Structure 1
């Protein structure tokens, strides 16, 4: 009797497996469809999330991670900045900082929060929020710079020096 039950059970399992194999061969495969880019406003800048990661509009120490609901601001570890070509944070002395890659909804170029206006045609000027960074002005046009090798920008000499010798009045929450 037990042998008959075992044979019946094996037959039922065999039929179920055969039916499942038959059903799976009739499944239709669909080609993936790319979703349209999600646009998000970050610091007033229009950011199109058409890639997994994007540079932050005004802070090289952050990046944007794109999700189905838009861009999320993500921080890099201390002493690192976002490298879009490698899609990771790298040591800040090895990567130039690039901001202002986006546009306002009006279509004008978006500078991000820290747009610096040169007080003179030429010179080096401290960044208001970060002692390791400064602005270099040439012909009245500012470019965002970072001191190399872990040095700090000294407001007195307008050069990059060891942290112990730097005079700096930057504040994390300062206006730009």
Structure 2
């Protein structure tokens, strides 16, 4: 018999109201984060979403994200941080995209029926495999993701409000590398957003 993972049990028993108790959007130098990663419930829901493809974790985080995104203009575009093709094959999913899809955003180019931004998981891609950031120093993180991203099909996002989304940010190096890739396309603004820090 398999023993239930501690973090799985936390998520199984977690309500959206419990998770919302940890919602405190905070500006952290170059990025905004929604919840503190040090909180056991937040850490559990992030880990379950990221490493175990936990549907409930994706839904809970999607609802948290949805509440926050209602403050952005409807014409905004959310771009999830992509995984490398190797990591995507290993996991079978990109947890950031899964969370974004469960927030209620549409991928359609038509005006959304909700007040949420549009999801565009197809715009940004990872040009090369990078070492997982968790094991690296600040300087190594910056070097690791420099020029790691590319843009598909040179989309017209000039004048758009862009929200680059990641699950966890420590130094923000990954988010900043994505921003550097998108900046030449001349969006009106770029917000760097992490679910947790």
Q: Give the TM-score taking structure 1 as reference length.
A: 0.29
* Between structures 1 and 2, the one with greater strand share: 1
Where relative contact order (Cα < 8 A, 6+ residues apart) is larger, the structure is 2
Q: Return the index of the structure with the highest Cα Rg.
A: 1
Normalised to the residue count of structure 2, the TM-score between the two structures is 0.27
